[in-house]
Structure 1
Amino acid sequence: MKFKPLHDRLLLKPMTAETKTKAGIIIPDTAQEKPMQGEVIAVGKGKRMEDGSLHQLDVKVGDKVLYGKWSGTEVKLDGVDHVILKEEDLFGILG
């Protein structure tokens, strides 16, 4: 399925949460934290400013980003979990 976000929205694929601690203890699914990192899969054209100009987004497809734990809307596309959110919900790009 093709999906193109509108305006200043992004489509992210959340990175999987760790299932083991560094000491080797397995974390059950019910105790795992929601992922806060993801890979940008698709980006919109940008944010429309009050004067009508288009402000390009600072992220691009393939960037690894950090976002808020409860940010965005979770969706399932082609059986894969994704998150749709606005660029302003991102904390930064991971290098």
Structure 2
Amino acid sequence: MANNNQVKPLHDRVIVKPAPAEDKTAGGIIIPDTAKEKPQRGIVLAAGPGKKDEPVTVKQGDRILYGKYAGTEFQFEGEQVLIMRESDILAIV
């Protein structure tokens, strides 16, 4: 994300860049685009300050796991990113 037009999430929101979908299985079978699953991991691009008495525990650059249907997708500077609540994050990897 560029510094001059950076999006700043509010409260307990986090902006995440999803990891690319897998192209092959562990056995080496190539997965077609129509059968690829939505990734459930990504990298935190930005995090809000948190709620009044609950600061956000993730920070920029953290690799995270999140729920399958977590967040809202949007385009920012040509990249597909997600914005979600910190409570949708399952773990920091």
Fold conserved between structures, TM > 0.5:
yes
Q: TM-score, normalized by length of structure 1?
A: 0.89
Deviation at 1:10, TM superposition (A): 0.2
Q: What SS class does the counterpart of residue 47 from structure 1 fall into?
A: coil
Normalising by the residue count of structure 2, what TM-score does the alignment of the two structures yield? 0.91
Q: What letter matches 1:58 in structure 2? A: T
Of the candidates 11, 21, 30, which is equivalent to residue 15 of structure 2? 11
Cα distance in 1, alignment partners of residues 57 and 66 from structure 2: 14
- Asked if 1:28 is matched to 2:32, the reply is yes
Between the aligned partners of 2:54 and 2:68, the Cα distance in structure 1 is 26
Q: CA deviation at 1:21?
A: 1.2
Runs of 5+ consecutive residues of structure 1 not aligned to the other structure: 49-53
1:45 aligns with 2:49: yes
Whether 1:80 aligns to 2:90 is no
What is the CA-CA distance between 1:87 and the residue it aligns to? 0.3
Distance in 2 between residues matched to 1:67 and 1:73, nearest whole Å? 12
Runs (4+) of structure 1 exceeding 6 A deviation are: none
Q: Aligned-residue CA RMSD in angstroms?
A: 0.9
AA matched with 1:45: P
Greater share of residues in strand: 1
Larger Rg computed on CA atoms: 1
Identity value in percent: 51
Deviations 1:36-82 (A, max 9, x none): 0010000001112xxxxx42111111100100010110011011010
